[in-house]
Amino acid sequence: MEQAIQLFAAVNFLIMGSLIVAFHNVWSGIPVILTVLGWSFVLKAAIVFIAPNLGLRSMAQVRSDNSRKFIIPGVIMIVVALALGYSLWSGWNGAD
């Protein structure tokens, strides 16, 4: 069951990462964050496809008793989302 969930997650990461990389390949300014995130999704999917045991080991770390580990990454993702939202709202695309 866990391997099926892992495969489903890897396919989703591969699709989302590929879409981001294909349609948002910007390497300057704040929008570079989204491009790096897309490449990290593709890399994560590749790792899961190549070394499934490593992916299962990382999924095993997600438990309710150690959920406090995810507070800092969650805050970082909120900051990234705010930076990208500001970039979109202000119309700044790095080509200025």
Could you read off the pLDDT of 29-52 as tens digits, one per residue? 778 888 999 999 999 899 888 888
pLDDT tens digits, 49-87:
888 887 777 777 777 777 788 888 889 989 989 988 888
Q: How many CB atoms lie within 10 A of CB 45?
A: 21
C-alpha 56/C-alpha 65 separation (Å) is: 18
Domain ranges of the chain: 2-90
Written as six digits, the tokens of 50 are 């190549």
Q: What is the pTM of this model?
A: 0.73
